[in-house]
Amino acid sequence: MTLQKLTAELADNAELFEMSKEEGDEAGLETIEAEAAKLQPLIEELEFRRMFNQEADS
């Protein structure tokens, strides 16, 4: 997953969160929480790759 796609996913989730929060939609909030949990490992992988992206880091 690219950084742009990840950013778009996070923005979509943030927008859905606001709508669900305003409407009191608990099921929507739970879905967003599950989607955010799926993104966590991807974020961690990107952070790891960013930290160790130098030639000598292999």
Q: What is the pLDDT of residues 6-23, one digit of tens each?
A: 889 889 999 999 999 899
Q: Is pLDDT above 90 for 27? A: yes
Does residue 48 surpass a pLDDT of 80?
yes
Is pTM, for the whole model, over 0.75?
Answer: no
Sequence-separated (6 or more) residues with CB below 8 Å from residue 10: 39
Q: What is the percentage of the chain residues whose pLDDT exceeds 70?
A: 90
Size of the chain, expressed as the number of residues it contains: 58
Which of 2-11, 25-34, 38-47, 48-57 has maximum average pLDDT? 25-34
* Sequence-ordered list of residues with C-beta below 8 angstroms from that of 9, at least 6 positions apart, any chain: 1, 35, 39
Q: Can you give the pLDDT at residue 1? A: 59
Name which of 51, 54, 15 is nearest 35 in CA terms: 15
